[in-house]
Structures are given as structure tokens and as C-alpha cells.
């Protein structure tokens, strides 16, 4: 079980495709998993998998603090935190104050606040693994993606800073950086930008050396690796799960 059995994990954005796949993989490896999401588990799929679900707006520190405390009470101190929650705003220089506030409040501030309230639990364990979701968009510029890409660059910066801050407590911090993954978020972003879905899938597939978009389960496998003892000497790193996107 690679040292994961019995550990408590929180996955933010846990009802999204990547978050849910990550939660399922961690549960399969023996973790007790709590999902944080702003949505309710309307179709009960998390409950079916015996995953604890907490309705949390991670831009609200009070909600975060209450939910983290509840997780510790129900499942024990958190050993693994997967920060996969994200808001998607695709704007360039035309971005408004509201656009910036909306995306920064989740992607940067929300990630930071959840981490703030989980770290004391990890310190009790003298160990922990924090996995922040960045992206290939945290490495390169993309047209009209300034709002989104800047937050993904920021996540990589936070990862390296926190890795230095927390190493002495036995807490590892890494980022995972997917390429284009065929998820509902990809579908929704195409709709938001009024793009043809099939054409965008072909374009996105061609950007990768493997000539396809990735699958949520492939990202989840990388999350489980970073959470596990197999990655015990890895911290402050960016793990690319990008099908060769950045190698082109």
C-alpha cells in the first residue's frame, strides 16, 4: 500500500473530475478521504464510495477552519492534502477587478488557506504530503489565459516556498502539472470560449507527443505516487503529467 493505508486525506475540488479521480485512487490505496467542494454530492457518487463530503467554499476561511476541524475529529489528523480546487476565468488584459478577485480567491488564496489550516494537523504527525495542482499553464504563456495562467505560475511558487518552510516538520510539498486532460472542465471552458469541442479536442491532442489528451485516472496515479512513501525524497518539485506537451 506504499505507506498510504489508514492515512487521512483531504481533496479540495473533490467532486470535480481530477479531484474525484484522485480521491478514488487514494481510497483504493487505503486512505480515509474527505472531499471539500462548493457543490453538494447531488448524485451520491461520493457516498457510494464511502468518501466523506464537506460542502466548503474555500474562499471563506471560517468554512475551511470548521471543515478541517471536523475532518480531524471524524477521521484523524490529516496526512495528505490534495489542492485540486480551481476556478476557471480566461481573460487577457481586459480582465476586470471582479475577474481577478474571483480566480485569485480560489486558486491562490483558497489553496493557501486550506493549507494553513491543515498544516497544524500534519505537524502533530511530524509528516505529511501536500500536492498542489498547477498545470502546463504554469510554465508557458497562452493567448487570453492571463488570469488562469498567472494563478498556476503562483501555485508553483507557493509549492517551492512551502517546501522550504515545512521541510523541518517532515512535510513534503510538490505540485502536479497536467497537460490537457479530457474533463468536464475542458468541455466547459470550450463552451465558455464559444469553441467547437471536437475541433478543440483534436487541437489539444496534437499538442502532446502522445497525440491525445490525458485521462483523469492518469493524473490520479501521479497524485497517489506523490502522496506515498515512494516519493519520500521528493519535495519542492513539479511533476509533469503532460503527455510530452512541454517537450515539444
Distances (CA, A) of 210 to 141, 220, 229, 238: 21, 18, 29, 20
Q: Round to whole Å and give the CA distance between 200 and 149.
A: 19
- Angle at which helices 146-166 and 97-107 cross, to 10°: 30
Which residue in the list 148, 180, 182, 245 is annotated as catalytic?
148
Radius of gyration of the chain (CA): 17
Of 235, 217, 38, 214, the closest CA to residue 131 belongs to 235
Q: Round to whole Å and give the CA distance between 59 and 53.
A: 17
Is 148 among the residues known to form the active site?
Answer: yes
Q: Where are the alpha helices (DSSP H) in 76-96?
A: none
Q: Where are the alpha helices (DSSP H) in the chain?
A: 17-28, 45-48, 61-75, 97-107, 109-125, 146-166, 184-192, 197-206, 216-227
Q: Buried b / exposed e across 24-56, counting CB within 10 Å, b at 16+?
A: bbbbebebbbbbbbbeebeeeebeeeebbbbeb
Would you please indicate which residues are annotated as catalytic (active-site) residues?
A: 148
Amino acid at each position: 500500500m506504499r505507506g498510504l493505508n489508514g492515512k487521512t486525506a483531504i481533496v479540495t475540488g473533490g467532486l470535480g473530475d481530477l479531484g474525484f479521480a484522485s480521491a478514488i485512487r487514494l481510497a483504493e490505496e487505503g486512505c480515509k478521504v474527505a472531499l471539500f467542494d462548493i457543490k453538494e454530492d447531488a448524485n451520491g457518487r461520493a457516498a457510494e464510495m464511502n468518501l466523506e463530503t464537506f460542502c466548503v467554499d474555500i474562499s471563506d476561511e471560517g468554512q475551511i477552519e470548521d471543515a478541517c476541524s471536523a475532518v480531524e475529529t471524524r477521521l484523524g489528523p490529516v496526512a495528505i492534502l490534495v489542492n485540486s480546487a480551481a476556478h476557471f476565468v480566461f481573460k487577457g488584459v481586459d480582465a476586470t477587478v471582479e475577474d481577478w478577485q474571483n480566480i485569485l480567491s480560489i486558486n491562490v488564496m483558497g489553496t493557501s488557506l486550506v493549507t494553513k489550516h491543515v498544516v497544524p494537523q500534519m505537524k502533530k504527525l511530524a509528516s505529511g504530503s501536500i500536492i498542489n495542482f498547477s498545470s502546463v499553464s504554469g510554465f508557458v504563456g497562452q493567448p487570453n489565459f492571463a488570469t488562469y495562467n498567472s494563478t498556476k505560475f503562483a501555485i508553483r511558487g507557493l509549492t517551492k516556498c512551502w517546501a522550504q518552510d515545512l521541510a523541518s516538520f517532515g512535510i513534503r510539498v510538490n505540485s502536479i502539472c497536467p497537460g490537457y486532460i479530457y474533463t468536464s472542465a475542458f468541455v466547459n471552458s470550450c463552451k465558455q470560449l464559444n469553441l467547437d469541442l471536437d475541433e478543440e479536442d483534436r487541437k489539444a491532442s496534437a499538442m502532446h507527443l502522445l497525440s491525445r489528451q490525458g485521462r483523469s485516472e492518469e493524473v490520479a496515479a501521479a497524485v497517489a505516487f506523490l502522496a506515498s512513501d515512494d516519493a519520500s525524497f521528493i519535495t519542492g518539485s513539479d511533476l509533469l503529467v503532460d503527455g510530452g506537451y512541454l517537450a515539444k
